[in-house]
Amino acid sequence: MSFTAADFDYALPPELIAQEPAARRDGSRLLVFDRASGRIEHRKFPDLLEYLRPGDALVLNDSCVIPARLRARKAGGTGRFEILLVEENATNDWWSMVRPGKRAPVGTSLEILGRESVAAGARVTEVNAEGHRRLRFSGVENILTKLDELGEVPLPPYIERAAPRMEDRARYQTVYANAAGSVAAPTAGLHFTPELLEQARQRGVKVCFVTLHVGLGTFAPVKTEALSDHLMHEERFSISAETERIISEARGARRKTFPVGTTTLRVLESVAAANDGKIVAGAGKTRLFAYPPFEFRVVDGLVTNFHLPRSTLLMLVSAFASPAATDGREKMRRVYEEAVRERYRFFSYGDAMLLV
């Protein structure tokens, strides 16, 4: 069966879109879906540990969200712009989203605004097919090192803020974030606390990390009629030798591998696809777009949040729900209908789901 984006639509009451994180990171709810039986359980997020066994690999994405949203004005003018850094090409050379884009053709000079004065300059050097602007920054040694001072947390547009909040810098970031580079949080990891991870280790669960810098490609809407015609943006990833060892040992001992988040899953399955089903340490880029039917070669379970209608992330989760294309879509539709009935909180600051 050939699917379109409309096949992955669903009705979501706006009030279920979480505007604030839970009071405690691990205070979220957890919907547990058994893929084989179709059974749904309603639990609390710390109950996740009950589904993990000694020797299982719990794999998390340790990418760190950068304050990627900048404010600017046209050099020598008064026109205001909003810049969202998307991908670093080299020092002070970034692909970016600039709004309003029509007022920023190639050659436009911008002034990056600090709290009290102009902090840097930027010049539009190129525009790509998606309308993104390539910016060359000046007046600073490296704009990346200035983002804590100049930038704002790039919250998704469905989280409405009249003004930036400092607390979002902590809560829109995992407690284990390490490698700077993402412009959106790997949100399934937001539920973990250091204490919960330590409890997992004490149970014999092997906690390890990959790095995938989350870009806009993960969230870009599917605009093509056929899903096979949709092209994902590349995202950079790396896997350490320790993570290779932990996952390989888990698989050798017939234990399970649980990625936390679709970003982590995409890293593992991309590497497995390129290495005859094996996890191999190294770095690379992925465009993996998993939709039903899709053969998963490494992962046995998935911790994830609830995703936007028609999104590539919902398509991935539907593919993971069942190897049969139509069955996976229908299973996930039923799960989401149940989550809406039970008033789960959706999207980045929302509740979590575990597929086993």
> Bridge partners of 239?
210, 282
CATH 3.30.310.40 fits 5-65+169-355, yes or no: no
Nearest 5°: the CA angle 216, 165, 342 is: 70
SS (H, E, C) 68-107: CEEEEEECCCCCEEEEEEEEEEECCEEEEEEECHHHCCCC
Q: Which residue has the tokens 């950068």?
A: 66
Q: Do strands 109-113 and 179-182 pair parallel, antiparallel, or not at all (unpaired)?
A: unpaired
Indicate the residue type of 219.
F
Q: Please say whether the dihedral angle defined by the alpha carbons of residues 106, 108, 112 and 113, taken in this order, is positive or negative.
A: negative
pLDDT of residue 263: 96
Domain residue ranges in the chain: 5-65+169-355, 69-150
Q: Are the CB atoms for 121 and 112 separated by under 8 Å?
A: yes
**CB neighbourhood size of 160 (10 A):** 8
Range list of β-strands (E), the chain: 29-33, 40-44, 57-61, 63-65, 69-74, 80-90, 93-99, 109-113, 118-127, 133-138, 179-182, 206-212, 235-239, 257-259, 282-286, 302-305, 352-355
Q: Phi and psi dihedrals of 7, rounded to 5?
A: -70, -10
Q: Which is nearest to 260 in space by CA: 68, 51, 88?
A: 51
96 forms beta bridges with 85, 133
Torsion angle defined by CA atoms of residues 96, 156, 65 and 353, in that order, rounded to the nearest 10 degrees: -140
Q: Tens-of-pLDDT digits for all 356 residues of the chain? A: 678 888 999 999 999 999 999 999 999 999 999 999 999 999 999 999 999 999 999 999 999 999 999 999 999 888 999 999 998 999 999 999 999 999 999 999 999 999 778 999 999 999 998 899 999 999 999 999 999 999 999 999 999 988 878 899 999 999 999 999 999 999 999 999 999 999 999 999 999 999 999 987 666 677 787 787 777 778 999 999 999 999 999 999 999 999 999 999 999 999 999 999 999 999 999 999 998 899 999 999 999 999 999 999 999 999 999 987 679 999 999 999 999 999 999 999 999 999 99
- Do the two domains 5-65+169-355 and 69-150 of this chain adopt the same fold? no
Coil vs helix vs strand at 338: helix
Fold of 69-150: Thrombin, subunit H (2.40.10)
Q: How high is the pLDDT of residue 232?
A: 76
Q: How far apart are alpha carbons 150 and 112 in whole angstroms?
A: 8
pLDDT of 219 reads 64
The contacts of residue 161 (CB under 8 Å, 6+ apart) are: 155, 168
**Is the peptide bond preceding residue 154 cis, with omega within 30 degrees of 0?**
no
Count the residues in the chain.
356
Q: What share of the chain is helix, strand, coil (3-state, %, to 5)?
A: 30, 30, 45
Beta bridge partners of 179: 63
pTM: 0.93
304 within 8 A of 262, measured Cβ to Cβ: yes
- Which amino acid, residue 59? V
